[in-house]
Amino acid sequence: MNSYLDELNEDQRKAVLHTGTPLLIMAGAGSGKTKTLTYKAAHLIHTQVIRPDELLMVTFTNKAAGQMRERVAKVRRIW
């Protein structure tokens, strides 16, 4: 398994590896939703399902957007 996937709990790993159908991630504050989404993006790039320039991630604030970008970059070193 990819080492970055080892950093996720079982539910997060299932979400990151999920393919084929839409997936809704709902959980309380501090539960790892952003981590799951950023690792999902990194995984899609790592497995060459998408290219980084084909990825669009949307959030509510510029601060959160910056954090998501930093997290994906940290996992994949792409930006």
pTM above 0.85, yes or no: no
Per-residue pLDDT reduced to its tens digit, 6-41: 889 999 999 999 998 888 888 888 888 888 988 998
Q: Report DSSP letters for the chain, one per residue.
A: --GGGGGS-HHHHHHHH--SS-------TTSSHHHHHHHHHHHHHHTTSS-GGG-----SSHHHHHHHHHHHHHHH---
Interval 47-61 mean pLDDT: 86
Q: Judge whether residue 50 has pLDDT over 70.
A: yes
**Predicted local confidence at residue 2, as pLDDT:** 66
**Predicted local confidence at residue 29, as pLDDT:** 83
Q: Which CATH superfamily is domain 3-76 in?
A: P-loop containing nucleotide triphosphate hydrolases (3.40.50.300)
